Amino acid sequence: MLFFNLSAFYFFYFAAVAVYVIFMPKVLHDIGYTPSQIGVIFALAPLMRFATPFLFLKHIKLDRNIFRLALFTSIFCSIGFYFTLHNFYAFMLNNALLGVCLSLILPYIEVIALKELGKDKYGRSRLYGSIGFTVIALVLAKFLSEPQIALHYYLTVNIFIVFFSLLLLKHDVEHKDTISSKPFSVLEYWPFWLSLFFMQISFGGFYNFFTIYETEHGISLEMTSYLWSFGVICEILMFYFQAPILKNNLLNIIKFSIFLTVIRWLLLYLYPDNLYVTFFTQSIHAFSFGLYHSSVIIYLYSIYENKKLAQQFMYGVAYGLGGFIGALVAGWLYGENLFLYSSIFAAISLLFVSTLKTERKI
């Protein structure tokens, strides 16, 4: 039953991500939001992911009560979408509050999953998140005839997220933080952290404007949803088969994944209306996200003594601050050259990581 509840949580959580990432930018664009406004709105979630953990360093404890508050507030924010959708500032504030909630919900459940399932079963459970993402990407594209439909889907999956999260609370236990004898320092490996940062900036155009970019180049919304789904399928396959690859030099794997990402964005810039090329660029998602993400996590585990703090900084600096800046920059730079800029940011990421010559063994 635990495995089922966790799998269901991941399914609906990443189904909500699919609605938010794939379709909400298109909804806002269709009702008159400018690219800059869309960039600001979708920059808030990663900004909250970066800022929220600092609230829990000294003054607030992330316990069951705070977790329940985050769950029910997320439903409040989902309902709030109906009333704030046509007001930029109200929608922005509602989105910011939702970002705070989401920055607490997933990490809290992840701790339960890792403790109760272990690494092997955890991976199989997390796989259902990718399935949920794909299902929504395929289904909603067929029925999104008006903006309200996307809001209905988001509210529905959010209710399921809360339901299964509450079921999982009985497995919650107290966890003591690991104390390292060596002070944690970002400056010790500053080129690597800058590489993480610029890599996520390069994804700003993809995560926030890929749907708009492709539909404006003559690709239908339904076909764009197939492109999203194909990328996720390639990601799933990489997660399933990547174990032997990760036994090699991690820095070389990271460099290779970033290099392919540079090529990926450059091809999207050169051939935005060519379906064959676009499907090929989506296949690279297996490397630019799947293999890259795993390699980064393991590499950080190998070079830092305080492993937990290293992972927290990874999510904060890369996916938080990098995602925030990436969304803003993508909104400002949106146009025909969007993915040319993305390719340049990925190239800067490759430049920084290439200055690292040695790799520690785990």
Residue 41 has a pLDDT of 87
CB-based contacts of 186: which residues, under 8 Å, 6+ apart? 193, 313, 317
pLDDT beyond 90 at 147:
no
Average pLDDT over residues 317-343: 89
pLDDT beyond 80 at 111:
no
Average pLDDT over residues 124-153: 82
pLDDT beyond 50 at 197:
yes
pLDDT beyond 70 at 176:
no
- 10 Å CB burial of residue 253 (0-12, 13-18, 19+) is buried
pLDDT beyond 90 at 75:
yes
pLDDT beyond 70 at 120:
no
pLDDT tier, 105 (very low <50, low <70, confident <90, very high otherwise)? confident
**Which amino acid does the sequence have at 193?**
W
pLDDT beyond 60 at 179:
no
pLDDT digits (tens, 9 = 90+) for 36-62: 888 888 878 778 878 776 676 556 666
